[in-house]
Chains A and B, each alone.
Chain A
Amino acid sequence: ILNVEQSPQSLHVQEGDSTNFTCSFPSSNFYALHWYRWETAKSPEALFVMTLNGDEKKKGRISATLNTKEGYSYLYIKGSQPEDSATYLCAFMTNAGKSTFGDGTTLTVKP
């Protein structure tokens, strides 16, 4: 079983704070790294699909970077808002189509 680790497990920040999370994954047999946001009572939704070393993706106030050689990805949220409160999951994808998810980082943004 591949080891995909996310840290921290949970995070509480004030509205307006910027924050970041880490996803660590094996550096071998890499095909893609996905980030998902999972809000309470909803289904997980994709944020980013990252495939190339050095990739940087951005969607509004959220951005992500990828380092496949050292096996990590960072997710950044600038100026957190209460609506950003959710669990953020990363998923390591192999070229065989197998996915391994981390346990997630649960973000709570206080108004």
Chain B
Amino acid sequence: DGGITQSPKYLFRKEGQNVTLSCEQNLNHDAMYWYRQDPGQGLRLIYYSQIVNDFQKGDIAEGYSVSREKKESFPLTVTSAQKNPTAFYLCASSRGRAVTYNEQFFGPGTRLTVL
């Protein structure tokens, strides 16, 4: 089955620790995205990548880092510099900006709690 996987579903970390969230897709999509959702708010873009080995900052990139070494993988690292990391994180992929109907497909999400 084609889709997007995120692991783990729930993640607990101590304050001051870096943590990496996994996102894998087997849809052969060029573009991948990371979003954060806080209670009562919509999805805010952290980073996005249109092609392997290239990525851009979204609206709330501070305290986060990403890599895109493989087409199917786009891991997100939440660093200790992120002031309020507790949130729900969603990964998405799409066929990319060159395709007109490039709707995003979302993973199940990871809920990160920093204690």
Contacts and interface: CB of A to CB of B under 8 A. Distances in A.
Contacts of B35: 101
A95 B59 CA distance: 16
B89 interface: no
B43 A89 contact: yes
B47 to A, nearest CB: 10
A51 B100 contact: yes
Contact of A34 (B58, B96, B97, B103): B103
A49 interface: yes
Interface of B: 31, 33, 35, 40-45, 48, 50, 56, 58-59, 90, 96-97, 100-109
Q: What bracket does the count of chain A residues touching chain B fall in?
A: 20 to 34
B interface: dominant SS: loop
Contacts, number: 63
Nearest to A52: B100
8 A-B pairs closest in CB distance: A46-B103, A103-B42, A43-B106, A97-B97, A101-B43, A101-B42, A97-B50, A49-B101
A46 B101 CA distance: 10
A89 B104 contact: no
A9 B102 CA distance: 26
Given A97-B97, A101-B35, A32 B102 contact: yes
Interface of A: 1, 6, 31-32, 34, 36, 43-46, 49, 51, 89, 91, 93, 95-104
B1 to A, nearest CB: 14
B10 to A, nearest CB: 14
A89 B42 contact: yes
A98 B42 contact: no
A99 B48 contact: yes
A100 B59 contact: yes
A45 B4 CA distance: 13
